[in-house]
Amino acid sequence: MSQVRPVPQEIFGKVVSNKMQKTVVVEIVRVEQHPVYGKVVRKKSKLKAHDETNRCQVGDKVRIGYSRPISKDKNWRVLEVLPR
């Protein structure tokens, strides 16, 4: 039986695309250790987040929070755009 990780309520990431209306794609980078070999590996995930005011630009650091499903792929909201 595999363990299910709880969804974190807030995550920090970097905006990699803002070509959709009121939606940004945020890249999340996490560092994990390989279970067998012990090497430290960087893993990336891309999440779609709701940006109500279209204020995010590519390269911005953002804080996103988990929310109710907004569309088929969007379950996150942009909470804050952090200074570069």
Summarize pLDDT for 17-67 with one digit per residue, the tens. Answer: 999 999 999 999 999 999 999 999 999 999 999 999 999 999 999 999 999
CATH number at residue 49: 2.40.50.140
Residue 2 lies in a domain: no
Residue 59 lies in a domain: yes
| Torsion of the alpha carbons at 29, 46, 12 and 51, rounded to the nearest 10 | 160
Q: Kindly report the pTM of this predicted structure.
A: 0.85
Pairing of the two strands 23-33 and 10-20 = antiparallel
Residue 5 lies in a domain: no
C-alpha distance from residue 5 to each of 8, 54, 66 (Å): 9, 31, 14
62/79 Cα distance (integer angstroms) = 8
Per the structure, the complete domain to which residue 45 belongs is given by 10-82
Q: What is the pLDDT of residue 1?
A: 59
Q: What is the pLDDT of residue 57?
A: 96
Residue 14 lies in a domain: yes
Number of domains in the chain: 1
